Amino acid sequence: MKKWVKALGMSCLFCLLVVAGLFLFASRDIPPPDVSDLVPERPVIAPEKNGCTYFFTATESFYWPEDKTLVTGYLDGNPLDDAVIQDLLTRNAEAFRLIEKGVSCGVCLTPEVMTYDTQLPYLGPWRNLGRLLALKSRHERLAGDYASATGTCVLLLRFGNLLQKNAECFINYLVGISVLDLGLAQARELASDQTASPEDLKKLAEALAVIEPFDRSMIYAGKAEYKVAAASIDQIWQGSSALTGLAGSLPGGGTGSSWSGKCPRGYFFQPNKTKLLLVGSFRNMIRNAPRANIEMNRRMSASRFGTDRNKLSLLVHPNAFGKFACESFAAPISGILGKKSVAECDLNATRLIVAIQAYRETEGKLPDALQALVPLYLPTIPVDPYDGKPFRYSAAKGIVYSVGKDYQDAGGSTGLPSWEKKSVGAKVQWNAEDIVFEIAPKPAPLPAPPAR
């Protein structure tokens, strides 16, 4: 009997040693991963040659009305008293001058973002400055001053392009795209106006042609974003981080809660393994950046990290906390890729509309096919960012269009598929069967009055 007890004890001890060995082995971290390909090439620019310097000053001098719907409503087509518009433009004349000076620098390098706690108070005002420039362009066009309206629209396009070109984080990138979108909307309205001159169309086309590719700027922003995420992982390890929202991805965490940074270490959290997981997501984003939407691989969050399983059961696996952290840090990537497709669609449609209207000015009719625009009006036919094929066009319907998220050509249908019936307002265009942009054919001129 004693022999059996002794044997059982030895077996238990052996099992405990094996379990302890496995636990210690699984608790070992790896060397820091090589991330030389994820280091953003941040240029060195003197303050006086950096557009950011002047944009910062503009935020200090610009005036934004307490009722912001005055501006947004006017851009949506609502009437606004001319005296109110003139007051807005007069109060912001110095801010407009500073934006023009900053745009002439050709670069806008914002302060380096080091952690998720870094404040970016200038992004909101910059977006509002873009709205004010859009208001100015629209007001000048409706007043018949097409040359000024075109100049303001070109300034707005260049402003938005600079904001997204060297974005230091995803939020900065999205603000730049949103400002650029305001300029694209005004460019389409100008191009479709019956009294826009060939000179105006040429200026718009030139401004549209030099907009920085969205995949390049997204890659730059992604690299800067990884740097911040890696620094936050180090902060978590050191117990010096307070990240809002991360607790929501942890067992028992609630939405909007804040996590203090005190985490179990070793087996449950290994910073270098966590960084390696995160590196995979950002490298995947970089590979996806130049692809058409249909070719993108978006498996980069919960399913990639294994956190789509039961969270409590996942806690028995090594580096469980690091996987939860990766899920939180990588969550925006898929959305950013989607936003890039929307921005490219918006830009390419605008380029086509301006070129088609320039063709109409010369030939007196719409082109029979988009190929007629090459090479005099466009170097090549812009592609549809959703399926990678040339943008679609219907002269009969007076539209250019993308196949949209379902990748099916519905002939320019603006109807909503069954799963998108709840879309309203501006979302309808982007969730329809096809993403349609009207060329807005110019009406025939009125006959001259009879001579007396």
SS3 label, residue 383: strand
Residues in the chain with pLDDT values less than 50: 14-15, 17-26, 244-261, 301-303, 442-452
pLDDT at 306: 59
pLDDT at 302: 43
- Determine the Cα angle at 367 with ends 361 and 370, to 5°: 120
pLDDT at 55: 97
Give the count of alpha carbons within 13 A of 140, CB side only. Answer: 20
d(CA 363, CA 360): 5
Place of tokens 């109807």: 415
Q: Amino acid identity, residue 429?
A: Q
Question: Are the C-beta atoms of residues 109 and 45 closer than 8 Å to each other?
Answer: yes
Q: Amino acid identity, residue 295?
A: E
| Class of residue 373 by CB neighbours under 10 A (exposed 0-12, middle 13-18, buried 19+) | buried
pLDDT at 268: 80
SS (H, E, C) 95-111: HHHHHHHHHCCCCCCCC
d(CA 183, CA 105): 19
- Determine the Cα angle at 343 with ends 139 and 411, to 5°: 95
15-41 in b/e form (b: 16+ CB < 10 A) is eeeeeeeeeeeeeebeeebebeebebe
403-424 in b/e form (b: 16+ CB < 10 A) is bbbbeebbebeeeebeebeeee
| Class of residue 347 by CB neighbours under 10 A (exposed 0-12, middle 13-18, buried 19+) | buried
Give which of 443, 360, 346 is closest to 401, Cα–Cα. Answer: 346
pLDDT at 324: 82
pTM: 0.87
Question: Are the C-beta atoms of residues 80 and 47 closer than 8 Å to each other?
Answer: no
pLDDT at 298: 65
The alpha-helical segments, DSSP class H, found in 104-145 are 123-142
d(CA 193, CA 443): 10
pLDDT at 331: 81
pLDDT at 25: 42
Give the count of alpha carbons within 13 A of 254, CB side only. Answer: 2
SS3 label, residue 226: helix
d(CA 27, CA 12): 22
Q: Domain coordinates of the chain in residue numbers?
A: 41-212, 242-330, 362-442
Task: Please name the residues in contact with 126: beta carbons below 8 A apart, sequence gap of 6 or more.
Answer: 55, 59, 163, 175, 179
- Return the CA Rg of the chain: 27
Question: Are the C-beta atoms of residues 79 and 139 closer than 8 Å to each other?
Answer: no
pLDDT at 11: 56
Cis status, amide bond into 385, omega within 30 of 0: no
pLDDT in tens, 58-103: 999 899 999 989 999 999 999 999 999 999 999 999 999 999 999 9
Interhelix angle 146-165/123-142, nearest 10 degrees: 160
